[in-house]
Amino acid sequence: MKIVSPLTSQPLRLVNSIQHYSWGMRGASAFIPNLLGIPAEPNTAYAELWMGAHPGAPSQVSLGDFQIPLTELIQQHPQEILGSKVISRFGKHLPFLFKILSAGEVLSIQTHPDKKQAKALHQVDPKHYPDETHKPEIAIALDELTALIGFKDITEIFAVLKSYPEITDFFGREIISSFRSKSNESEAKRQLFSAFFRFSIEKKDELLESIDHLENRLLTLSMPTETESLFLELRKKYPGPDIGLFSLFFLNLIHLKTGEAIFLPAGVPHAYVHGNIVECMANSDNIVRAGLTPKFRDIPTLIDILDYSEKRLPILTDNENAERFMYSTTADEFAVQRYLLSDKKTLLVQKLQTPEILICVDGATDLLFTIGSSMQTMRLKTGESVLVPAILEQYKLKTENQAVVFSASTPIQSAL
């Protein structure tokens, strides 16, 4: 391990890891290579850019002529990087993971455990649940995002069962009758979808037959709905008995425009369909998958932790004219801001001794900060990111033309 001493009060440039999951964008139009200004390798998917200190893919910190993993630098200088208030609340770990996510294809239908569930899952199955922490997350559209988020309400579920008898036949009359008789909507959905996912294991032949029947009928339609078209598209990729294909019809299909966001607490089923986003989450990679994936699926755990409530998650709307906009969430580990800078403006940022990661997604800006009595300048161009350690309590952003910068930090009120 390279020993770094002392750590000065200044932004630290990051070199971040790219995750090449199969659903990422490919080719010359791939978002992440274009953001970073690098050529896209042929036949390579560019799915996520990780900025942070997750042990699975920590950012490298550039220090002069060498680099050091951010995880190691935090071990050596926890006080300087994290600050005492964050350490007292979260330990000597960066509490959040910041990402750029670029979905060229549909991700798996999945959910995330809460704190208690995450700890229990990690203890019994650390291979599939590598972290002890939960994973609340926010998705902010950089251009647009199409996503499946949360179960539909009871009225809409009744409509699905009526419109798609192939799905009703898979459930069976007894389950549907019991579902209709329940007065508690949340409990009714729990019973229905518990059977739904359980049958995906117990009745694979029946599931495959029902999927085939629905596919054959939808292929005869001249104007399928957006969800029906998505089903037909994914059926080509998943020809087996994948319960995710039927799940499409029970989840809310949403469309986010640039700057709009959605916050996902534990237990909410979701799948990103297409688009490019800024994503921030608690520093965890715990995923419980339901379908549309060749990866490990944990149906018993999924049934246990899903949120079956009636609430529809709100869309967080960016104020496009605001120089600084904070996306409000209930997360303790992170807060995300968007800076829209232009016309030679200088903006003072007061940090209050917490760690922060900045990434410029468009244009360029200068970070102005003081070391001793000397004013220093660091240029942040499109695709570049920096860690601002807790010991740097304030800095300025100065822009000649224009820049769009996103910031992830640990909110001070949660660290008190």
CA 91 → CA 9, 76, 111, 364, 392, distances in Å?
21, 14, 26, 34, 20
Catalytic one of 180, 190, 235, 289: 289
Dist CA 271 CA 251 (whole Å): 9
3-state secondary structure 341-403: EECCCEEEEECCCCCEEEEEEEEEEEEEEEECCEEEEEEEECCCEEEECCCCCEEEEECCCEE
Dist CA 259 CA 315 (whole Å): 10
Dist CA 229 CA 170 (whole Å): 21
Whether 396 contacts 348, CB under 8 Å: yes
Whether 205 contacts 241, CB under 8 Å: yes
Residue 289 bears catalytic tag: yes
Cis peptide before 6 (omega within 30 of 0): yes
Whether 283 contacts 93, CB under 8 Å: yes
In the block, residue with structure tokens 């801001």: 337
Half-sphere exposure of 114 (CA within 13 A, CB side): 9
Cross-strand pairs, 338: 325, 406
CB environment 230-268: b (16+ within 10 A), e (fewer): bbbebbeebeebbbbbbbbbbbbbbebeebbbbbbbbbb
Residue type, 149: I
| Active site residue ranges | 289
